[in-house]
A and B are shown apart, each in its own frame.
Chain A
Amino acid sequence: MASRGVRCISTIGILLAAFSHALTASPQDYEGKPVAEIRFSPAYQPVPETELNRLAGIAAGQPLSLAAVRQAIQRMYATGRYDEIRVDAALNGSGEVVLTFETLQNWFMSRISVEGVAEPPNREQLLSAAKLGLGEKYSEEQMVEAVKGIRDVLGNNGYHTPRIQPLVERYPEYDELHIQFLINPGPRAYFARPVITGNPKRSEWRLLRDSGWPRWWGLLGWRRYTETRLQRGIDRMRRGYLKRDFLLAKVDLQEVAFDREERLAQPRLKIEAGPKVQVRTTGAKVSQGRLKELVPVYQEQSVDQDLLMEGSRKVTQHFQSKGYFDAKVTFDRKDVSPEQQLIEYQVARGDHYKLVYVEVTGNKYFDLLTIRERMGILSAGRFTNRAGRFSEELLGRDRGAIEELYRSNGFRDVEVVTRVEKNYKGKDREIAAFLEIKEGEQWFVDDLEVSGVDLRLYEYIQSTLTSTEGQPYSAFNVATDRDNILNYYYDNGYPDASMEITSSPSDRPRLMNLKYAVSEGRRLFVKDIGINGLDTTRQSLVLNRISLAPGSPISLSSMVFSQRRLYDLGIFAKVDMATENASGGTREKRMLFQMEEASRWSVNGGVGAEFGRFGGSATSLSAPAGGAAFTPRLSLGVSRLNMFGVGHTMGAQARFSTYQKRGLLTYLAPQFQGRDDLNLTLTALWDDSRNVRTFSSKRIEGALQIGQRLSRATSAQYRVVYRRVATSDVKIEPGLIPLFSQPVRVGLISATVVDDRRDDPLDATRGIYSSADLAVANRAFLSDPSFGRLLARNSSYHRVGRDYVLSRNSTFGWIYNYGKPEIPLPERFFAGGAVSHRGFPENQAGPRDLLTGFPLGGRALLFNQTELRFPVAGNNLGGVLFHDAGNTYTRVQDINVRYRQRDVRDFDYMVHAVGFGVRYRTPIGPIRVDLAYGANSPRFVGYRGSLNDLISGNQGNLGTPVLQRVSRFQFHFSLGQAF
């Protein structure tokens, strides 16, 4: 036993000897001792093992260096994945050092959300107040601040007893966590009667009425308190003072006292009304409304020298824009009494001038058009700008713009000399402006040296440069080069790329040497992609639209492109992107996408009216050419987004008017098959309409369409359509009714190509628009009739002079019937009206029934429209003179340009109409009124009587053939240009 005890004590002694070192040693005592082993604790490390060993940089068997340990800590921390690193050392039995890296990892926020608050404040405001960044490191301190920020925002919106519960859910496989703030805001406070101090000069009752805080003047108590309502109330009070000329009135919110028990928020306001300030002009009249726009003291609610000067400048410009180019405006500020101030702008208008001539000379390098495009001064026009546009300031600005244009193309010594000649050519009050351009010599690049660029990229970078040897030298070109190079780097995973540019004159004259020194910095790659926030949407839908892939460089443009594609799906209210651990030193980064799905249901409704010559009862045959009529129109739509989580949209639309009842179901798949250029639409339609006077039609239709964008200007649609059409109330010769009014099934395939090269589709002034639609109906597609149909259109727009636009539009249509039965009425061409031929009422062109005179439609059409568009007054009111020619023809071989109608049975001739119209420009396109005169409008035989009279053959007093004519005068009112 004794020997066992001795052995034991000896062992303890050995152990003590071994470990006593650890208990008393300083770090330096380990230096130089061989490293036996390197351990990392805990076992899970956020950096892969091989990478970790590389970062530690300490090898077993090597002598320990404290400097190496320090560097290891710095390298590991620089990865951004560690919050804490500590290195322990211990000696093993052999006297070697066992190093242990004790670490604490960082967690990154990959989803931050807020739930449970009725707006205001909205989610965005609360998230913004939390100040937590997607992809950033998480810390407890930040969370405390985040809760405080959210609490403040809630408090500012009347929630003073909120409960905020932050839920943190960790995802160790990604070192990520999701933070969800569950908020129970409690009841919202109400406004309490505010405390108003100072000298408001208005009764409290009026101020409260302005504020809008009491409900029904306080009879129903007070409104709920929100920050927006508070600010809006204060703004309204300010506006109340402004309206009464108290321009210096100060309405200051000093504090809002909250009574948590009573849930009341009492604003304390200090109001100093100040004196009344009257602003007026002398020497020339300016309306009070215009003066309020020109003199900024109204907007700023302050009167100081700078604002008065600004007002003076704007009043001067106001008169200059009206042709008083010499206008001089001074101002004076007077205290009329302690209660009233007067600001008087003294206007010396000078003579009224007209800028009749602008001459630019000396330009060799740029043509006149290029220079004119940059100029603000404008000679007088016939319809608009009748005095021209001119001021010394504007002329100076033009001079600067032209000089800048030249400098940016290497003309470093360019000078533009301006001269203004009054009483031009002896004409009193007419002036001319002359701009003489002294171009000087052009400077070129002698030598360009690019350094710091990876050799593999060198060739591409070179191809993007504009300031290469022999090219014009300018600061603009150099800046463009810098932008091109850096953008290329940013798009290829180099977020820290920078560039230094030096330029120096060459030994040779007019030549510059350039040096671009690029510092590429680190290159970052995508490690993987994290998507959060999807409740309904399938992850694959999102992933397929993200153009970043693991292993690819992190590209800024790819990120923006991905974000745009996701927004284009129309199912996300918000798409946030971030690089996780962006500042960390690791080369491979996880990309985070946080989505917020949009509300899935949307409902829309509309009330409108139609007015036109489509009137007449369904049974009366008395007005085959249509009578003036009015019908209200109602529409209602509902759509559900993101069907099945794949980004598709289903919608139902209903429209109701006297002449049309329509129900439409649509199913839209945007970015079909993941392709931006494709979309798929399925539609089901029920339509009961009487838009053609001849018949009523009931249509049930199903269609499948694939839309494809072929280029920026060109698109195509491919369709398969199947419909069943039944007609009723057909007002044609009874013998023909069975032929035309049979319910028919039409199955067709069609393709449309559109090439739109107009500058503005709503109101084009230049460009060309072409479209062609080709359809084939065949028994093979279960169609009763078999026919082919082509409808082609071409429009062109040309600017003539400065103000005029000459536009034309040609339309050709052809239906080829290669089977039986006859083409049913609803499938024929019905044309005429506001957009095809203004000499006709809507759908009244072409062949007519010889007994009733109602339009029968045709199998061919040809129209040509020509318009001269010009301004009438200002920029918004315009006019057109137009000539429309053409008709709907019985067959394609009947198309001709004959002017005269042979007899009342002849409808295959070309109808001409001339007229004028007025256009008023609005953001949704011009409002249009056209009056047309059709000199050779068709005459025809109509039938006086009812449909029953016609069918029963009763031609007594009621049913009589009557010679009629489409009115020579036609009036059209609609939205948008005719073509």
Chain B
Amino acid sequence: MRALLVIPLLLASAVRGEIIDRIAVTVSGRVITESMVTQQIRLAAFQDGRVPEFSPANKRRAAETLVSRLLLLQEMDDSRYPEPAMADIGVQVEKLIVERFKTPEAYAAALTAQRIEAPEFLRFLQQQQRAYSFTDVRFRTGVEVTPEELAAYHEKEFKADWQSRNPNTPLPPLDDVIVEIEQVLMERKLDQATEEWLKRTQASADIRYREEAFQ
């Protein structure tokens, strides 16, 4: 008799089934699903050689990355920015195989273990490369590093870093390291410009996170 009472409960829990996908974020009429978020975590972890972590906080971060990418993608498509050639991405992957996996078979096995398709990873890298290249082109104009900024960086951050790494070596003069510092500052400013653009764009877009997808 007790067994009979258990049946409806079991049925009730089973009828609902498993949620296999749902809307996680909407960005002005476009959708990022929960499966896209989890796959983003896998792809990013695979690229960095980390174990994927599906905590709510990490899912939220991955979703934010996808939102930024979606907005950038829109901007790139609007300005007809070209995609990098797949051959170039192939070279990048070959380098990864040699450095981390040694053999293509090991690379393929690692992908399978992470439930990632090889073309999917290539596409991920291609999109990433396109976004880097685009932000460089889009925001480099107007970004300028002034002599004062170079001197200030050399005097503070470079000096501190140098002294921690080379305690007994005298600090090289600014002129000797100016290219390196300029590069660092330029990258920093580019990141800043991109961040600001994203903030502005996100503010004007209708972005809605569905919290239930990030539990």
On A, residues with C-beta under 8 Å from B are: 5, 8-9, 11-12, 15-16, 18-19, 22-23, 25-28, 30, 66, 69-70, 73-74, 77-78, 80, 84-90, 98, 100, 583-584
A15's partner among B10, B18, B36 (CB-CB below 8 A) is B10
Interface mask (B126-159 → A, CB under 8 Å = 1, otherwise 0): 0000000000000000000000000000000000
Residue of A nearest to B210 (CB): A84
- 8 Å CB contacts to A: which residues of B95-148? 115
A77–B13 Cα distance when bound, in Å, is 28
Chain B residues lying within 8 Å of A22, measured Cβ to Cβ, are: 13-14, 16-18
Chain B residues lying within 8 Å of A12, measured Cβ to Cβ, are: 3, 6-7, 10
Given contacts A18-B14, A19-B10, A98-B17, contact A77 B35 (CB under 8 A): no
A23–B10 Cα distance when bound, in Å, is 10
B33 in contact (CB, < 8 A): yes
B17's partner among A9, A15, A74, A89 (CB-CB below 8 A) is A89
Chain A residues lying within 8 Å of B29, measured Cβ to Cβ, are: 77-78, 80, 583-584
B19's partner among A8, A70, A88 (CB-CB below 8 A) is A88
User: B23–A85 contact, CB under 8 A?
Assistant: yes
How distant is A36 from chain B, measured CB to nearest CB, in Å? Answer: 12
Residue of B nearest to A583 (CB): B29
- 8 Å CB contacts to A: which residues of B1-52? 3-4, 6-7, 10-11, 13-23, 26, 28-31, 33, 35-36
User: A27–B3 contact, CB under 8 A?
Assistant: no
Given contacts A88-B16, A98-B17, contact A15 B115 (CB under 8 A): no
Given contacts A8-B4, A9-B3, contact A88 B18 (CB under 8 A): yes
A15–B4 Cα distance when bound, in Å, is 12
Given contacts A23-B13, A78-B29, contact A73 B22 (CB under 8 A): yes
User: B19–A74 contact, CB under 8 A?
Assistant: no
Given contacts A15-B10, A19-B13, contact A84 B23 (CB under 8 A): yes
How distant is B31 from chain A, measured CB to nearest CB, in Å? Answer: 5
User: A66–B14 contact, CB under 8 A?
Assistant: no
Max chain B CB contacts within 10 Å: which of A28, A86, A100?
A86
Given contacts A12-B6, A28-B115, A70-B36, contact A77 B31 (CB under 8 A): yes
Report 30 cross-chain contacts, Cβ distance below 8 Å, ordered by A residue. A8-B4, A9-B3, A12-B10, A15-B14, A16-B10, A19-B11, A22-B17, A22-B18, A23-B14, A25-B18, A27-B21, A27-B35, A66-B21, A70-B21, A73-B31, A74-B30, A74-B33, A77-B26, A78-B30, A78-B31, A84-B22, A84-B210, A85-B23, A87-B22, A88-B17, A89-B17, A90-B14, A90-B17, A100-B17, A583-B29
Q: Which 7 pairs from chain A and chain B are nearest by CB?
A: A90-B17, A19-B14, A27-B20, A86-B22, A88-B17, A89-B20, A77-B31
Residue of B nearest to A5 (CB): B3
Max chain A CB contacts within 10 Å: which of B4, B10, B11?
B10
Known: A15-B11, A85-B23, A90-B15. 18 other contacts (CB 8 A): A8-B4, A12-B7, A19-B14, A27-B18, A27-B20, A69-B20, A70-B36, A73-B22, A74-B31, A77-B23, A78-B29, A78-B30, A80-B29, A84-B22, A87-B19, A88-B17, A88-B19, A88-B20
Residue of B nearest to A64 (CB): B20
A26–B20 Cα distance when bound, in Å, is 8
Chain A residues lying within 8 Å of B13, measured Cβ to Cβ, are: 19, 22-23
A424–B23 Cα distance when bound, in Å, is 82
A89–B13 Cα distance when bound, in Å, is 12
- 8 Å CB contacts to A: which residues of B160-214? 210
User: A90–B23 contact, CB under 8 A?
Assistant: no
Chain A residues lying within 8 Å of B35, measured Cβ to Cβ, are: 27, 66, 69-70
B18's partner among A16, A30, A80 (CB-CB below 8 A) is A30
A-B contact count (CB 8 A): 94
A88–B31 Cα distance when bound, in Å, is 18
Chain B residues lying within 8 Å of A584, measured Cβ to Cβ, are: 29
Chain A residues lying within 8 Å of B33, measured Cβ to Cβ, are: 70, 73-74
A66–B19 Cα distance when bound, in Å, is 11
How distant is B11 from chain A, measured CB to nearest CB, in Å? Answer: 7
Chain B residues lying within 8 Å of A11, measured Cβ to Cβ, are: 7
Residue of B nearest to A99 (CB): B20
A22–B15 Cα distance when bound, in Å, is 9
A11–B4 Cα distance when bound, in Å, is 10
Chain B residues lying within 8 Å of A16, measured Cβ to Cβ, are: 10
Please count how many residues in chain B sit with their CB below 8 Å of the partner chain's CB atoms. 27
Residue of B nearest to A500 (CB): B80
- 8 Å CB contacts to A: which residues of B60-114? none
Decide if the interface of chain A is mainly helix, strand, loop or mixed.
helix
A85–B19 Cα distance when bound, in Å, is 11
Chain B residues lying within 8 Å of A28, measured Cβ to Cβ, are: 115
Max chain B CB contacts within 10 Å: which of A19, A26, A69, A70?
A70
Given contacts A5-B3, A12-B6, A90-B16, contact A69 B21 (CB under 8 A): yes
A28–B10 Cα distance when bound, in Å, is 23
Chain B residues lying within 8 Å of A66, measured Cβ to Cβ, are: 20-21, 35
How distant is A675 from chain B, measured CB to nearest CB, in Å? Answer: 42
Chain A residues lying within 8 Å of B210, measured Cβ to Cβ, are: 84
A212–B83 Cα distance when bound, in Å, is 67
Residue of B nearest to A84 (CB): B23
A87–B33 Cα distance when bound, in Å, is 11
Chain A residues lying within 8 Å of B4, measured Cβ to Cβ, are: 8
A22–B6 Cα distance when bound, in Å, is 17
How distant is A137 from chain B, measured CB to nearest CB, in Å? Answer: 10
A98–B17 Cα distance when bound, in Å, is 9
Residue of B nearest to A584 (CB): B29
How distant is A569 from chain B, measured CB to nearest CB, in Å? Answer: 37
User: B23–A86 contact, CB under 8 A?
Assistant: yes
How distant is B4 from chain A, measured CB to nearest CB, in Å? Answer: 6
Residue of B nearest to A74 (CB): B31
User: A8–B17 contact, CB under 8 A?
Assistant: no
Residue of A nearest to B4 (CB): A8
How distant is B192 from chain A, measured CB to nearest CB, in Å? Answer: 31
Residue of A nearest to B117 (CB): A67
User: B14–A73 contact, CB under 8 A?
Assistant: no
A8–B17 Cα distance when bound, in Å, is 23
User: B26–A15 contact, CB under 8 A?
Assistant: no
A84–B19 Cα distance when bound, in Å, is 13
Chain A residues lying within 8 Å of B23, measured Cβ to Cβ, are: 73, 77, 84-86
Residue of A nearest to B17 (CB): A90
A87–B34 Cα distance when bound, in Å, is 11
Residue of A nearest to B14 (CB): A19
How distant is A412 from chain B, measured CB to nearest CB, in Å? Answer: 29
A326–B6 Cα distance when bound, in Å, is 105
User: A89–B11 contact, CB under 8 A?
Assistant: no
User: A85–B22 contact, CB under 8 A?
Assistant: yes
How distant is A140 from chain B, measured CB to nearest CB, in Å? Answer: 12
User: A87–B21 contact, CB under 8 A?
Assistant: yes
Chain A residues lying within 8 Å of B26, measured Cβ to Cβ, are: 77
How distant is B45 from chain A, measured CB to nearest CB, in Å? Answer: 16
A22–B30 Cα distance when bound, in Å, is 30
Residue of A nearest to B22 (CB): A86
A25–B13 Cα distance when bound, in Å, is 13
Residue of A nearest to B213 (CB): A86
Chain B residues lying within 8 Å of A25, measured Cβ to Cβ, are: 18
Chain A residues lying within 8 Å of B31, measured Cβ to Cβ, are: 73-74, 77-78
Chain B residues lying within 8 Å of A74, measured Cβ to Cβ, are: 30-31, 33
User: B10–A87 contact, CB under 8 A?
Assistant: no
How distant is B114 from chain A, measured CB to nearest CB, in Å? Answer: 11
Chain B residues lying within 8 Å of A78, measured Cβ to Cβ, are: 29-31
User: A90–B21 contact, CB under 8 A?
Assistant: no
Residue of B nearest to A30 (CB): B20
Chain B residues lying within 8 Å of A100, measured Cβ to Cβ, are: 17
A8–B3 Cα distance when bound, in Å, is 7
Chain A residues lying within 8 Å of B17, measured Cβ to Cβ, are: 22, 88-90, 98, 100
Chain B residues lying within 8 Å of A9, measured Cβ to Cβ, are: 3
A85–B15 Cα distance when bound, in Å, is 18
B21's partner among A8, A18, A73, A583 (CB-CB below 8 A) is A73
Chain A residues lying within 8 Å of B19, measured Cβ to Cβ, are: 27, 86-88
A70–B19 Cα distance when bound, in Å, is 12
